[in-house]
Each structure stands twice: as structure tokens, then as C-alpha cells.
């Protein structure tokens, strides 16, 4: 059984969401709730957020302690809110998730800034890390691991127990920052010698969380045997990330718990601002050729939207052909963004009347079931103008089971005026709908 020498052992940990098995749906749902509560006083915000958590499907009747734990895990771990002056505000990261439901981008921004020490920890835990001189960025280490030239192709993976015992709980890595090649040799030698690790859930769970967040972000994938591999489409990202890793250093100046507390809002700003800057930088550095080769659009919201619109365009043409209107299928067209018409696709009904379609695409690891969407001011205005001729196509693409689901909402303004959906004004409109407000149809593909 492999054992870290005692002199080098210090276990790293972080808050673990109790909703991890359904994390995409929970965070997607809560992003809308948090955005709706933006700017409430602290007490009212906490009260309304607990009500929203309780309203999440399956949560009715949860104990208050459990609801409070959910609230803390959502706000602290993922930097989705920021408080000052007695008021609580939705952060840019939270608003972006509500606007786009781009879950891969959300987890990518989260994992690119996740590091020890970090503001997701309690102040006394941060103090312990500072005393131990631990400064460790898990994704930076993984970037060095997956781009190392010393690893044979067949060995280019890592398991949760290897990451736990050989990396995040070993001070030679987290404090001393030994060269990654030394750690790799240790891992590979253990594989060759068939060394066992303590694989109990309580021991490896924090390492497992970090790797799973990398999977949710689209950077890595996991096979049936529990091995984590780099996604081929993410190679350029890892190479760029090594040279552009955002590091938070403000804790270095803290001398006591009070100083650490004063850094809290700086940490939240760091996560929100630096992660956005980094993603925008890496998007620009990804060449057009690399994008064209990629089958997995990792983080760009526009590219995900474009993918959904192309699928919808094909669906509409096939639908018309199947109904004997091949002549009309030739009139189905994509509306260029610069036209600013408030919808993406102009299609036709069988009787040739217009169908104005706004496509909302969500790509997630597991099936995304949150019945909430955001329409921009221009889209909501178009919905008001076209009424029963305006459709929202909610396209949900799930990586895990390769499913593609298409939900169609007709005349969202009419549904709102007839009290069949809830609409919350927020730089346009957040729409909350139930199963009676949409029709699920088969996505037609060539």
C-alpha cells in the first residue's frame, strides 16, 4: 500500500456540494435565482435563496440545516455572489451562466482559478495553508502532466487515487513544487510495480472532485476503468494555460484571520475577472484551423450557439421535406447576427406562413432539465412583435448518453400574458416555464 512519507503529508480539502450528482442542473437553476435576487439586502437575499433551493425539484421538505449547507456551498465554492455594504449581488460568473446556460464555460472558468489557498475555504483553513507555505494550482499541475514529453502515450492518464496520494496530499508537490517529471516517475513506477493505494471514498473524494470538474468543463474525459484522459480538442488549451495561469497572491500579505477576511471580496473578483480574461485570451489564440478540426466545442458560447443553430436549420428543412414541402425547405435560412432581428432561423409552416425561431442551446455532461431560459431585450421585443409566429427552440445536448432533445415553446409573450409562464425582467427577460408550456419533438438529422 502506497504511503506518503509523514514529513510530506498534508491533506488538502474543499467544500463538497451535496448536490454533486446533479450539479449542472442545480447550478443552472440557481444562477437564474441568484440573478433575480441581485442587489437585495443580505438578510432578504439569504431568505429568498433558501426558498429557491427548497423549490428545486426533489428538495421540498429538506431540513433547514441542509438548505443552509446548499446555500453556503453554492455561494462560497463557486463565487456566484458578492456582499458589501449590507447587500448581496450576483457576480458576473453567475449572470453569464443564467444568460447562456453554457455549463462547460462555467466549469472551465471555475477550474482555471481554483487553487490553494482559495476563498472557498474557511479563514482558519486558509491560515493553516499559509503557515505550511502551500500554494498549489491543480489545473496548472495537470497541464504540465498532460503536456509532458516524458510520458509514453499509453501512460498519459491519471486516476483519482494517483492524483490524491501522489499530488494533492504530498507537500513535495503542493509546497515544494518539485519538477513534474519527478512526480510522473513516482506515479509510473507505482504502476509498473502494481502498488495499491487507499481508495476509500473519504480519502480520495477531493481529488475526485477536481478531476470531475475538469470533465464537466470539457477539458478531460473519464473511461469506464476510472482513468482520466485529456480531451484531444483541449491540447492547445493546456499548452496555453501553462503560460497564462492566473495565480492569486493576496493571501501572502495576510498576517492574521482578520487580514484573511478582508481579502474575501478580492478573491471573488479574482475568480470572476481573471477567469473571463483568460478564456477570452485563449479563445483568440485558438487558430481557425484548430477550431475547424475540433469536434468538441469546449468553451466558446458563440460556437455552441452556432452548433445549435445549424442543427435546427437542418431540422426545419427535413421537417418540411418530410411533410411534402421541399419547395419551402429551400426558403429556410439562418439570420446573420448583425441583422439584429431577435431570432436565429426564419422557417416556414406547411401553409407557408412564417416561423421565427430563436435557438437556445445547452451542452452539458448529463441531461439538463432546468426549465429556465433567458431572452435578450431584442429577442423579447421580437417575441412581442411576432407573437404566435415566434418560437423558442430549446436544444439540449448531453455528452454522457449522446442524447439530443428539442423542446419548442410557441409565443412566450402570449404564455406570459395568460399567466402560464413566469417572466422576470433582467436585461431582457428570464422565462420560467413548466411541462405544459412546451412540446418535445424529435430532432431530425440527416
Per-residue pLDDT of the chain (446 residues; tens, 9 = 90+): 999 999 999 999 999 998 999 999 999 999 999 999 999 999 999 999 999 999 999 898 889 999 999 998 898 899 999 999 999 999 999 999 999 999 999 999 999 999 999 999 999 999 999 999 999 999 999 999 999 989 998 999 999 999 999 999 999 999 999 999 999 999 999 999 999 999 988 899 999 999 999 999 999 999 988 999 999 888 889 999 999 999 999 999 898 999 999 999 999 999 999 999 998 888 777 654 455 444 444 456 777 888 899 999 999 999 999 999 999 999 999 998 888 999 999 999 999 999 999 999 998 988 898 999 999 999 999 999 999 999 999 999 988 777 899 999 999 999 999 999 999 999 999 999 998 999 999 999 87
| CATH hierarchy code of domain 6-285 | 1.10.10.2090
Q: How many CB atoms lie within 10 A of CB 63?
A: 8
First to last CA, the chain: 53
User: For cell 437564474, what's the residue?
Assistant: 32
User: For cell 474575501, what's the residue?
Assistant: 264
Residue 400 CA to residue 58 CA, distance in Å, equals: 22
C-alpha cell at 328: 419551402
Which residues are CB-neighbours of 143 under 8 A, at least 6 positions away? Answer: 238, 239, 241, 242, 245
Residue 395 CA to residue 408 CA, distance in Å, equals: 9
pLDDT number for residue 292 = 47
- Burial grade of 358 (CB within 10 A; 0-12, 13-18, 19 or more): buried
Residue 325 CA to residue 316 CA, distance in Å, equals: 11
- 8 Å CB contact between 60 and 54: yes
Residue of 419, 200, 393, 425 lying closest to 315 (CA atoms): 393
Q: Where are the domains of the chain?
A: 6-285, 301-441
Whether this prediction's pTM lies above 0.85 is answered by: yes
Q: For 301-441, give the CATH class.
A: alpha beta
Residue 334 CA to residue 346 CA, distance in Å, equals: 6
Q: Is the bond preceding 117 in cis, omega lying within 30 degrees of 0? A: yes
Residue 235 CA to residue 231 CA, distance in Å, equals: 7
- What is the spatial order of strands in the sheet that 429-432 belongs to? 372-375, 429-432, 422-425
Residue 347 DSSP symbol: E
> What is the pairing mode between strands 390-398 and 354-364?
parallel
Same topology, domains 6-285 and 301-441? Answer is no
Amino acid at each position: 500500500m502506497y504511503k506518503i512519507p509523514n514529513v510530506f503529508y498534508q491533506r488538502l480539502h474543499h467544500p463538497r456540494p451535496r448536490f454533486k450528482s446533479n450539479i449542472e442542473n442545480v447550478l443552472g437553476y440557481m444562477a437564474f435565482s441568484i440573478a433575480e435576487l441581485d442587489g437585495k439586502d443580505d438578510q432578504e437575499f439569504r431568505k429568498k435563496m433558501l426558498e429557491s433551493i427548497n423549490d428545486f425539484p426533489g428538495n421540498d421538505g429538506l431540513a433547514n440545516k441542509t438548505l443552509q449547507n446548499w446555500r453556503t456551498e453554492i455561494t462560497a465554492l463557486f463565487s456566484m455572489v458578492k456582499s458589501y455594504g449590507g447587500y448581496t449581488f450576483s457576480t458576473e460568473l453567475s449572470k453569464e451562466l443564467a444568460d447562456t446556460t453554457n455549463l462547460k464555460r462555467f466549469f472551465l472558468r471555475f477550474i482555471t482559478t481554483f487553487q490553494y489557498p482559495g476563498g472557498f475555504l474557511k479563514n482558519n483553513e486558509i491560515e493553516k495553508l499559509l503557515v505550511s507555505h502551500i500554494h498549489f494550482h491543480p489545473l496548472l499541475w495537470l497541464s504540465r502532466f498532460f503536456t509532458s514529453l516524458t510520458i509514453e502515450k499509453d501512460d498519459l492518464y491519471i486516476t483519482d487515487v494517483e492524483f490524491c496520494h501522489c499530488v494533492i496530499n504530498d507537500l513535495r508537490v503542493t509546497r515544494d513544487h518539485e519538477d513534474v517529471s519527478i512526480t510522473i516517475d513516482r506515479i509510473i513506477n507505482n504502476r509498473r510495480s502494481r502498488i495499491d493505494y487507499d481508495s476509500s471514498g473519504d480519502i480520495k473524494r477531493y481529488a475526485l472532485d477536481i478531476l470531475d470538474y475538469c470533465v464537466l468543463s470539457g477539458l478531460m474525459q473519464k473511461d469506464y476503468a476510472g482513468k482520466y484522459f485529456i480531451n484531444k480538442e483541449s491540447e492547445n488549451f493546456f499548452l496555453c494555460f501553462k503560460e497564462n495561469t492566473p495565480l492569486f497572491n493576496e493571501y501572502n500579505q495576510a498576517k492574521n484571520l482578520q487580514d484573511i477576511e478582508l481579502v474575501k471580496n478580492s478573491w471573488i473578483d479574482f475568480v470572476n475577472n481573471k477567469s473571463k480574461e483568460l478564456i477570452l485570451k485563449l479563445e483568440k489564440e485558438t487558430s481557425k484551423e484548430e477550431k475547424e478540426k475540433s469536434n468538441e466545442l469546449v468553451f466558446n458560447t458563440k460556437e455552441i450557439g452556432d452548433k445549435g443553430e445549424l442543427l435546427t436549420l437542418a431540422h426545419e428543412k427535413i421537417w418540411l421535406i418530410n411533410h411534402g414541402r421541399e419547395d419551402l425547405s429551400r426558403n429556410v435560412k439562418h439570420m446573420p447576427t448583425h441583422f439584429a432581428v431577435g431570432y436565429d432561423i426564419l422557417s416556414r409552416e406547411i401553409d407557408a406562413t412564417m416561423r421565427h425561431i430563436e435557438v437556445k442551446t445547452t451542452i452539458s455532461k448529463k441531461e439538463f432539465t432546468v426549465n429556465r431560459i433567458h431572452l435578450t431585450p431584442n429577442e423579447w421585443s421580437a417575441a412581442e412583435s411576432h407573437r404566435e409566429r415566434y418560437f423558442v427552440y430549446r436544444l439540449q445536448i448531453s455528452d454522457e448518453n449522446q442524447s439530443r432533445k428539442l423542446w419548442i415553446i410557441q409565443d412566450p409573450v402570449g404564455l406570459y400574458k395568460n399567466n402560464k409562464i413566469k417572466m422576470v425582467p433582467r436585461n431582457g427577460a428570464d422565462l420560467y416555464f413548466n411541462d405544459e408550456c412546451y412540446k418535445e419533438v424529435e430532432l431530425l438529422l440527416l
